[in-house]
Structure 1
């Protein structure tokens, strides 16, 4: 049986009650502002501003600084629900549009209470767009921010208009360590960051068309930078070479299809010099690579742990991965398991591999799965995506030395396969925590009966089966009865043999026993809060 829902901690209850009090106060303010608006528009604006400032002072004084990030999360859950309830109340009455806009304005203004120096994490992706403009103007007050995700701002359409907004804010954010600013970053913003944010460790400015080789002189001035994302910018090979050489702590430079040529250029330049450069890169991701690039990578980047490449059999040999001593995460696209020597690579490097991702990889059959299970005993994360698992012509008959996939914790399989493939993977992975099964994978009750008999999946926390023509509600009940740590069982609505009545009865079964199990569809799992919490 899943775990029973536990009562929330007192501090969590206090946060929820505080936010509920905030929304209740907002509802009262709406009536007052609505009355004042009829008399004098300017007066209502000033009154709202003063009341929001009073609320800000109350929360800043009473919410402990270590809880402010969680308080912000609760506010970003409650205000959209408040706006949604306002929208439902208005309906289709066009005559009520003025009242509606007044109420929404008050609801959005409540978000100002989070604009505090105590806030350390702010993600604009988590809030409705109507709230973003307000908080853009309040960023200067959040001087304690360490993580800031500004999302896409204008999406690159109004970079000139958004630049002053960012410039007027970042100069106050001296504690910033992570900044995500896609599409609208400029050289002026980088110049301001150089001065204001000396501790910046992660910078994601992907898709910013204003970023070019002229921006490199600002990027190399971040002494602590470890992760830099420049995908779809105008930075060329020359710029990347400068970044690799002048940022000694850089571990991740994001996906760049010409990164191999950058390494080749550096190798040719310093080949005969005694001070041959050693880079600190740990992640290598590209769609174009040749054998020589992989050989240079092994020599120049001894700390490489993650390799993601698109294989071209005419230009690269995967055996060149063998000299990469610390290789632990391997992501391969478009290759053959046996024909391109993936088996041989895993035989040599598999003892260190903990993450394996196959995408459009052919020749995967039962033998291939057996080799993976034996060569990669510490594999924790295994993904098979858009592959076609074949039936074996001759089966590997030798006794397996190691139980297959004994340490596997996360499995994602979205590929054409047979029952025996899935059963082989899941029968012995006693530590499995997360399973995602795609639409092309055949599943039925008999399969799960056999699986759960061999492996009760005591550690399983999340199971997502996107679609099934043969699974019934019996499997859902069996999973609940057998898996004690199950917390998420998604997409039951896509099991075509479950009717609405059975699903409703299952929901009642979960609720009446107070199980801590989320069975909502993924599209509705953004929050577990209901309108009743406002």
Structure 2
């Protein structure tokens, strides 16, 4: 085993070095272009030619590497280069204000920089959180360079609508399996996607109001579709129901309004392929009857008795937003299915009973409690220290606020935590952390992110305890909220991390 791990580690180190060199090269190109723009049109034109030549050289060098190395490199560098180009475009006022400015030259050299790190073997274009319309345009214009792409994601609205470009360039991606184009997608884009991307499994078009019932016909032709999200588009309930009735492998339903009765428009008696349901629920009994194989349920604004969810014998992921724990009878749900749950997310839930979560959710891996109010522990039983729940949870997020402070004194019993994120937890201080460390609560912690609520509760003592005793720790935050930790302490800590070549990140 050690012989297998060593090359992977070496490969990662080499990859980081190459990424660093490419980032420096991109920075030097952008700096040279900025300086040339200040000199004049002749200097700028000459510099664009120099950068173009450099990009060609870099591309030749990179494409001489083995394919598996290139694929790994692409996942690390493409997004970084796109971010740098987008920032350059947003801040190059001296260039755009010049009377001789030529948009084509600017676009061409930026496209060339991006092309230098685009390889035919690239599989994933995961452009999450991009708001630059210019960056999105460059990405779409260069799709011919990545013909083997299987994932293309645009999840946010940009300042420019590039839907026409997407429609005219999507034909390059015949191997695409996942397509996400939120906000600006149109019926024309969907038509072209359906025509050229026949292997699609996932299509997400949320918040695209220009996607109408006309798109349903094209989506129906994609027989391999498993996941479709048309939330807040202009597709009507009737046509959405027809789509769910036709697609043979569809596995999800998304409902955006309590007024929609989607099941009236679904021809099938039971939807055996549906494993995920997200949205509002008019009648929990209808849902459990129509979709007996649900494994993931995300529901909003619950004001009904959920006891019949116990009929969902494959349910392992439950998320509820805005409800009352007692009036919706969550107790009965957890008694019936709690032992199967791997993920439990409760958001804006009143009267949460932690004793029942601890006692009934014995296989839980991820627990999120956000802006919830809790029944006092002495009112709903006593928490033990040995339930399986404490050993099963590896990801714990406790997110309160000034109106929803969280008393979580039993935190130290979670002995296998790998991820801990806390805001508004009023029991955390140096002494608490020290006791927890002594009991082994954080021996496997990888990510420790705590926002301080009580002034002066957490100090460098906690930082030292975690670094000394938690050998797997990789991320530590949010230190700037710790009032007794001076900014220079954080800077010094970062310097120590760099000089000791540690892979710990301070957030």
Residue in 2 that maps onto 1:285: 278
Residue in 2 that maps onto 1:322: 310
Give RMSD over aligned pairs.
Answer: 3.8
Residue in 1 that maps onto 2:6: none
Following the alignment from structure 1 to structure 2, what is the Cα–Cα distance between the partners of residues 337 and 31?
59
After superposition, the Cα gap between the structure-2 partners of 1:392 and 1:14, relative to the gap in structure 1 and judged at 3 Å, is closer
Task: State the secondary structure of the residue aligned to 2:344.
Answer: strand
Conserved 8 A contact 2:32-2:47: no
After superposition, the Cα gap between the structure-2 partners of 1:29 and 1:311, relative to the gap in structure 1 and judged at 3 Å, is closer
Following the alignment from structure 2 to structure 1, what is the Cα–Cα distance between the partners of residues 494 and 39?
47
Shift of 1:235: 1.2
Question: Is 1:211 paired with 2:192?
Answer: no
Shift of 1:132: 3.3
Q: Structure 2 length normalisation: TM-score? A: 0.84
Structure 1: runs of 5+ lacking an equivalent: 1-5, 271-275, 522-534
Task: State the secondary structure of the residue aligned to 2:397.
Answer: strand
Following the alignment from structure 1 to structure 2, what is the Cα–Cα distance between the partners of residues 497 and 124?
38
Shift of 1:326: 0.8
Report matched runs for 1:476-487 at 5 Å. 476-487=463-474
Conserved 8 A contact 1:204-1:230: yes
Conserved 8 A contact 2:63-2:70: no
Conserved 8 A contact 1:259-1:286: no
Residue in 1 that maps onto 2:290: 300
Question: Is 1:165 paired with 2:155?
Answer: no
Question: Is 1:459 paired with 2:452?
Answer: no
Alignment coverage as a number of residue pairs: 493
Q: Structure 1 length normalisation: TM-score? A: 0.80
Residue in 2 that maps onto 1:16: 19
Which deviates more from structure 2 when the two are superposed, residues 202-211 or residues 390-399? Answer: 390-399
Following the alignment from structure 1 to structure 2, what is the Cα–Cα distance between the partners of residues 210 and 402?
52
Conserved 8 A contact 2:186-2:211: yes
Question: Is 1:59 paired with 2:31?
Answer: no
Question: Is 1:310 paired with 2:300?
Answer: yes
Following the alignment from structure 1 to structure 2, what is the Cα–Cα distance between the partners of residues 31 and 23?
12
Following the alignment from structure 2 to structure 1, what is the Cα–Cα distance between the partners of residues 486 and 27?
39
Task: Say which structure, 1 or 2, has more relative contact order (CA 8 Å, 6+ apart).
Answer: 1
Question: Is 1:337 paired with 2:340?
Answer: no
Which of 417, 423, 446 lines up with 2:409 in the alignment? 423
Following the alignment from structure 1 to structure 2, what is the Cα–Cα distance between the partners of residues 154 and 75?
19
Shift of 1:141: 2.7
Following the alignment from structure 2 to structure 1, what is the Cα–Cα distance between the partners of residues 61 and 258?
54
Conserved 8 A contact 1:83-1:107: no
Q: Could you give the per-residue CA deviations for residues 453-481 of structure 1, whole angstroms, max 9, x where no partner exists?
A: 22342211001112332111111111111
Question: Is 1:352 paired with 2:340?
Answer: yes
Question: Is 1:138 paired with 2:124?
Answer: no
Which of 351, 355, 361 lines up with 1:376 in the alignment? 361
After superposition, the Cα gap between the structure-2 partners of 1:187 and 1:399, relative to the gap in structure 1 and judged at 3 Å, is closer
Which deviates more from structure 2 when the two are superposed, residues 185-194 or residues 216-225? Answer: 185-194
Structure 2: runs of 5+ lacking an equivalent: 1-8
Following the alignment from structure 1 to structure 2, what is the Cα–Cα distance between the partners of residues 106 and 68?
24
